[in-house]
Structures are given as C-alpha cells and as structure tokens.
Structure 1
Amino acid sequence: MTIVKAQYEVAKQAYGTWGIDVDEALETLKRVPISIHCWQGDDIGGFEVNKSELSGGISVSGNYPGKARNVYELRMDLEKALTLIPGYHRVNLHAMYAETNGEAVERDELEPKHFENWVNWAKEKGLGLDFNPTMFSHEKAEGGLTLSHPDPEIREFWINHCMKSRKIGEYFGRELGTPCLTNLWIPDGYKDIPSDRLTPRKRLKESLDRIFAEEIDEQYNIDAIESKLFGIGSESFVVGSHEFYYGYALKNNKLCLVDTGHFHPTETVSNKISSMLLFSDKLALHVSRPVRWDSDHVVSLDDELREIGLEIVRNGALDKVKIGLDFFDASINRVAAWTIGTRNMIKALLYALLMPNEHLKQLQEEGNFTERLALMEEFKTYPFGAVWDYYCEQMGVPVREDWLTEVKSYEEEVLLKR
C-alpha cells in the first residue's frame, strides 16, 4: 500500500465517524466540470488579424516569458495544464480566438466554421466548450460603450456580433453533445457621475431583446448575462449592474452570471448564491480573486472560495451552478496559473463535500451555535489533504506539488524557446 493510499484510509475513518462517505464524495467530484478560461494563456490578446490593444477596463500586468503567440501554442499549453488537473472539464473561449486562416473577419461576421478546429480539438480531448462574445479591444468599443451606445449603427454592430455568438454556442453544443454556456459581458459605463442612468439602460434592454429574440434550444446553448459594479473608465456608473441583469434574467429566463471580482470588496458572492437559487433554477459563476479592485488574481484557496464551495454543495446545487474561472496573471508561469487556480476550485468543492453539512444545519435549527462553531472550526484541520492527494493519484495527475516539476520542465523545453 502506498503512503498516499494509507493516509487516505486513515482519513476515510476520520470522516466516516460522521457518516461521510469519502468514496462517494470523490465520485461526485468527478462529475463536476470547471470551465477553464483560455485567455490566461495569452493575456487576453486573442489572435484576430486586425488586432486591437486591450481595452474595456481590462488590464493584465507582467511579462513572464512563454506567452502563447498563436492558437496552436495556446491549445498546447491548455493541454499541458489539463494533464495536471484532476477531473473532466471544459474550456471557455472568447470570440477573438477565432481561426480565420489569415483573413480579416469582423466580429459581426464570425461563423461556426471559424471555430471548427476548436471543436475538433475538444472532441479529441473529451472537453466541453463555452463561449463569450468579445465586446472590448475593438475600435467600435472606444469610449466604453457597445450595446448601450447612442449611435444605432454601433449598437447594431454589437447586436449582430452577439447574435452570431449565440449561433456559435449552439454549434458547440450540437457538435460536442453538451450545452455551451454563452456569456455576455459588456464594458459599458461612465467614468464620472452620469446625468442620465435610465436611457443607457433602456438601450441595453432593447439590445438584449433583439439578441435573444431567436429561441435556441438549451440542449445546445444556454444564455448568460454578467454584471459588474465598476471598472477602469467606468468608475461611477456601469450600465449592466447586478440589479439590471438579475432583473432581466428572471424576467427572460436567462442565467445571471456573477463574477467574484465584480462587486464591492466587502460584498461576497458566496452570500448571494442561496438567495439567487431561490428564484432561479440555475446560475453561473466566474471565479477570480480580486485584490482591491477587479484585478483577477489567480484563485487561492481562501475563506471566500471555501465558502463558495460550501454554498454550492450544502444546498444541493452542484447541477445548478455553472462554475467557470476568470483570472489573468502575466507575472507568473501561465500554465502554472491555470493549474493552481483550477486545482483550488476543485479543492474547495471537495472540502465542502467532506463536511457534515446536514448535521451542521440541524445544529443551527436547534440554536446550538456553540457546537456548530466548534465543529466548523475542527473540520478545518481534518485530513482533507490526504483525500485530495488520493483523488489526484486516482485521476492520474501529479500529487501535491509534484505538478510544479512538470511545469518547470515544460517551461524549459517549450515556453522559454518561444
């Protein structure tokens, strides 16, 4: 018996005293896909022929060597990261990662054929694909307005782009046999205090109504809309606020996507999940780690991430919450960033699956807050790590920090030669 297996057996006994079936928890964990964002690999640059500077209130800092220079290198790096992450997952694409064979194709002219290579790759690797229209880094997004722009021609361009994006999402779902989450985020807002908040929101609503007018079977494509509190260049007002999008989602049967970095620093997304699930069948997450602003640091296994995992698991919402990641750090190895962040998201779910959730709920109902707090604290030092190590070993990925050795070798053999 290996050390990892021996430690796992000891952990099973410890958790078993509370009626927690560790083997069942791991089987459940295997069935939870995380949507891994492609844009960590190239610092949200994309590979459009007419490439624009990064804009829309988004900033990536650092210049670590080895950034993917083309779609082939990006897929290669994703493949490497996936060999270090346990489970069966998805890849999240932006429209700017289309492959147009050197032809300049405007975003409102994109078609499924421009993503055929991505679909073929996903089939080969057993992955699902998710999608996002790219509403930034474009001359028609200068000034920070797209779907709420006062110029009807500019609005029309972006409306058409979003319509095309939904059809691409539908194509992904049909080809891969798993529905694509097509998520819409726009940078629209104002740097200073607006004199009129209502009119831009009316235009956004009208644009969304146009975009979603065509019904697409959710067996293939699921629509989501993503809010934000503020951004660079939209410090005082964002058109697509949480209240706006949640109201629109409820009324129009769309998923509301909440990004952990898109709220006030003291406002936690974990606290929103139970409330939103009372009124929505499903919701979506973009998990990042904000530091003072929407800085999208690599996800850490901190208190908020654990609490997000707990809220999803203890409320029976593993099949209701679509979990995606959204961070971008160019100051560290990008493959390592994917690996650290995704492994931490999975760890948070495993941590939650290994809690005596029903017992803790009962203690709260009985008003036994002393025992509730004591157990919640004691379980923080239960042998969770031994279960995680065993899961990694069983899924054929490196245990503990051994993955770092592989990343270092990949950096020397591949990344530093770019």
Structure 2
Amino acid sequence: MGYENAKAAFAEWGVDTEAALARLKTIPISMHCWQGDDVVGFEQKTGSSGGGIQATGNHPGRARTPDELRADLEFAYAMIPGRHRLNLHAMYLDTEATPDRDEIEIAHFAPWVDWARAQGIGLDFNPTFFAHAKADDNLTLSHPDPGIRDFWIEHGKRSREIAAGMGAALGSACVNNIWVPDGYKDTPVDRMAARARLEASLDAMLAPPQDRARMLDAVESKLFGIGVEACTVGSHEFYMGYAIRKGTLLCLDMGHFHPTENIADKLSAVALSLDEILLHVSRPMRWDSDHVILLDDDILQMAQELVSADLLGRTRIGLDFFDATISRTAAWVIGTRNMQKALLRALLMPLDRLRAAEDALDFTTRLVVTEEVKDLPFGAVWAEFAAREDVPNGQKLIRELDRYQAQVSGRG
C-alpha cells in the first residue's frame, strides 16, 4: 500500500499521519559509541579490568581508532532518518596525551567536539567507572579507602566539566550519566555504610555548579552485576530517592531490572516526582545481556507510554547494547531505526478514542481498538518517512549495510 492510501486508512481512525511524521522528525536518539568497538575505548594507559562489562563475539570490522569509529558512525547516521546524538564514554578520549581518569580535560575530546559540530549532532557523556585498576574491587565511589573515593570523585567532577564544555560548544545540553559498578559478590555486613559513602561521594562530585543549559546530571541504577551478585550499592531505590532529592535526571536502563519488570510501567510512576528522565533502551534477553533492540512488545510499550503520558518532552532517549557477533554498524542502524519505528507506531495510535473508552471503563472497546489498529499500514508510513529523509529502506538498506561491512571487514 502506498503512503496516500495509508494516510487515508489512518484518517478513518482519526489519526493524522503528517502530524506523526513531523513529530517523529524532532525526536533525537542518543546513539552509544561503545557498540562500535566492543567497549574497549581509546585510553593509552589503563591497567584495567573489565568491571563486569563484556561484549561477546569477534565479528570482523571493530573500530580500532577514533577516526575509524567516527567513520562508522557517519555511515550509521546516514542510514537513519532524522538528526540524532552521540553518547560518548570518558574512555573514548582522542588525544596523544596519556591522562589518567582524574586528569582528563575537554581538550582530550576536542576532535569529538569538532566532529559533532561538523555533523550537526549533539553529544552526551558518561564518566567511566569501570575498566581501571582502581575499580578492580568493584568499588569506586563507595570504596572504604578515601583515596580511591577521591580519585573517582575527581574523575566525576572532570567528566561534568567536559560535558558542560561539550554542551556549550555545541549549543545543546549534554547529559552526563553516572553509573558505577559498586557492589559485593557475597552478602555484606553493612550495606548502609557503603550507601552512605556513595551518597557522600556523589554529593562531592555534583557540588560544583554547572549551567543546566549546558549540562544535565543523570544517575543510573542496576539490579546486580557479575561480581556484585549479593548487593549493588547503587540500587534503583537508592538512585530514585537521590534523583528526587537532588534534582538530577533518573536513568532507567531496560537491562538493569528483573526480567519480569515492565520498564514502561515505571515511566509515569517516576515522572510524577522528576522533571526529566533518561532512558537507556536495550534488550535484556537474559537480564543485562544488552542485545540489539527489536521492534518487540517491550519497545512498543515503552514508546506508547512516552507518547500517551506526554513524556517525550521530558525524556532523553539513549541506546545501550553491544553485540560483537554481528556487524557493529548494522547493530546501530537496526536498533536506532527500531526505536524510531516504535515511536512512530505510538504516534499513530488513536489515543483520544482509546482514552475515552478507558475513562468510560469500556475495556472491551479499548481492547478491540488496540488490536484492530495493528492491521493498519504502519510500514507504508515508515517508508514515506525514510524516503523524505533520503535514507534507504528494505532491500536497499540491506545492500548498503552489506557493502559497508565488506569495506571494514579487513580491519585487524
């Protein structure tokens, strides 16, 4: 079915496809740099351990340098309709210098800022509290040793300064997301002491004032991790309380909760107490296994909640998966486009009719409408969006992904 016929089909349900396409074009997705190189980074001195972060697989074509990673990103963005962002980790600095984590400065990321400006995209940022000798105990900001804590507090302060510098240079507020791997493999005696140390460290790290027009702080929880199975110091409850009290964004990562929890359900619950939310969209096939997102029920429900609860203006959408068993550039393209497709489907729902049925306690109509609209030609509307944005779709997209993968497969 062509777009004009699809437009008419949706109009019969009271849905304006032109309004949906116009809204979708304004929604940026923050694409994560670490899919492109398997979370290795570009530090020249590390003394590092993995900190529970692992990308599985050895597909050819991993980016080995910042220039290779940027080239891969440029290709991926060219395959994705709309204008988006890049989410950069501190371990992805681009410099001949060898600063330790407590010595990094905006100058060490200048090539990234110049590149983002040339591409017309915004940057987001993350301090890197893993893959470092001083994180080998899986304790950083909550470490009993004040010297270790001070090292990571300084890293966090510098990351905030870098994020603010990026936001100022690009004219778009940079979200600086804080996640630490802190926890215990076996049952601790004193959880309260560890959490008190984490809170005090966060307070010290966030104390220097930053202009919210340039930088936004976010905190991210986790259920558990490898090596911290018994206790994660920065739990959801810890960070939800902290974000509400301190006025930061709360990051909800789809892989950081029990597999039976519905993250879409959490959005409206926390939105009543928070000004803004950060999402890390992933596919936790087995807990936090970070698979490329599909256009599945979890993603569709997430998008529908963002639209129906009118949260798009208060939510920053980022991606977080890393799969080294497939083409890394294809992973970016598939995942980002699926997030957009989910948002488009949500924008094409006859929400006024569904709300009216729900308010009248007419759950039969709500169910019938929800199921019947699944037969509407969403694909034709997406194809129109791709065409208007001059990006390939369908078989042409597959050919372009294959062509680029063949081009980079010779990397060592």
Q: What's the TM-score bracket when you normalise by the shorter of the two chains?
A: over 0.9
Cα deviation for residue 188 of structure 1 reads 0.2
Quote the residue 1:93 is aligned against.
88
Give secondary structure in 2 for the equivalent of 1:324. Answer: strand
1:310 aligns with 2:304: yes
Residues 52 and 327 of structure 1, relative CA distance in 2, 3 Å threshold:
farther
> Within 2, Cα distance between the matches of 1:208 and 1:40?
27
Quote the residue 2:6 is aligned against.
11
The code of the aligned residue for 1:171 comes to G
Quote the residue 2:58 is aligned against.
63
Give secondary structure in 1 for the equivalent of 2:198. Answer: helix
1:46 aligns with 2:56: no
TM-score calculated relative to the size of structure 1: 0.97
> Within 2, Cα distance between the matches of 1:55 and 1:313?
37
Quote the residue 2:381 is aligned against.
387
Cα deviation for residue 70 of structure 1 reads 0.6
CA contact (8 A) 1:185 1:225 kept: yes
Give secondary structure in 1 for the equivalent of 2:219. Answer: strand
CA contact (8 A) 2:62 2:411 kept: no
Give secondary structure in 1 for the equivalent of 2:406. Answer: helix
CA distances 1:296-331 after superposition (whole Å, capped 9, x unpaired): 000111101000000001111111110000000000
Residues 400 and 86 of structure 1, relative CA distance in 2, 3 Å threshold:
same
> Within 2, Cα distance between the matches of 1:148 and 1:413?
45
Q: 1:407 aligns with which of 401, 404, 407?
A: 401
Q: 1:217 aligns with which of 187, 202, 211?
A: 211
Cα deviation for residue 65 of structure 1 reads 0.3
Quote the residue 2:179 is aligned against.
185
The code of the aligned residue for 1:11 comes to A
Tell which deviates more after alignment, 45-54 or 318-327: 45-54
> Within 2, Cα distance between the matches of 1:402 and 1:53?
42
The code of the aligned residue for 1:98 comes to L
CA contact (8 A) 2:60 2:411 kept: no
Cα deviation for residue 52 of structure 1 reads 4.5
CA distances 1:204-236 after superposition (whole Å, capped 9, x unpaired): 000011011111111000000000000111111
Q: 1:161 aligns with which of 155, 160, 172?
A: 155
Give secondary structure in 1 for the equivalent of 2:272. Answer: helix
CA distances 1:83-136 after superposition (whole Å, capped 9, x unpaired): 1011110000000011121x2210110000011110000010000000000000
Cα deviation for residue 417 of structure 1 reads 4.5
CA contact (8 A) 1:227 1:245 kept: yes
1:247 aligns with 2:245: no
Give secondary structure in 2 for the equivalent of 1:29. Answer: helix
CA contact (8 A) 1:44 1:54 kept: no
Quote the residue 2:277 is aligned against.
283
Correspondences of 1:104-143 after superposition (within 5 Å): 104-143=98-137
> Within 2, Cα distance between the matches of 1:395 and 1:309?
21
Q: Which runs of 4+ in 1 moved over 4 A?
A: none
CA contact (8 A) 2:60 2:408 kept: no
Q: 2:76 aligns with which of 73, 76, 81?
A: 81
Give secondary structure in 2 for the equivalent of 1:279. Answer: coil
Correspondences of 1:359-370 after superposition (within 5 Å): 359-370=353-364
Quote the residue 2:317 is aligned against.
323
> Within 1, Cα distance between the matches of 2:287 and 2:361?
37
Note the residue ranges of structure 2 that are not aligned, 5 or more in a row.
Answer: none
TM-score calculated relative to the size of structure 2: 0.98
Give secondary structure in 2 for the equivalent of 1:416. Answer: coil
The code of the aligned residue for 1:64 comes to H
Quote the residue 1:259 is aligned against.
253
The code of the aligned residue for 2:275 comes to D
The code of the aligned residue for 2:115 comes to W
1:228 aligns with 2:222: yes
Tell which deviates more after alignment, 37-46 or 48-57: 48-57
Quote the residue 1:20 is aligned against.
15
The code of the aligned residue for 1:78 comes to L
Give identity over the alignment, percent. 52
RMSD after superposition: 1.0
Q: 2:292 aligns with which of 281, 298, 303?
A: 298
Give secondary structure in 1 for the equivalent of 2:201. Answer: helix
The code of the aligned residue for 2:153 comes to I
Quote the residue 1:347 is aligned against.
341
Cα deviation for residue 292 of structure 1 reads 1.5
Cα deviation for residue 365 of structure 1 reads 0.9
CA contact (8 A) 1:190 1:237 kept: yes
Note the residue ranges of structure 1 that are not aligned, 5 or more in a row.
Answer: 1-5
Give secondary structure in 1 for the equivalent of 2:87. Answer: strand
Cα deviation for residue 413 of structure 1 reads 2.2
Aligned length: 412
Cα deviation for residue 25 of structure 1 reads 0.7
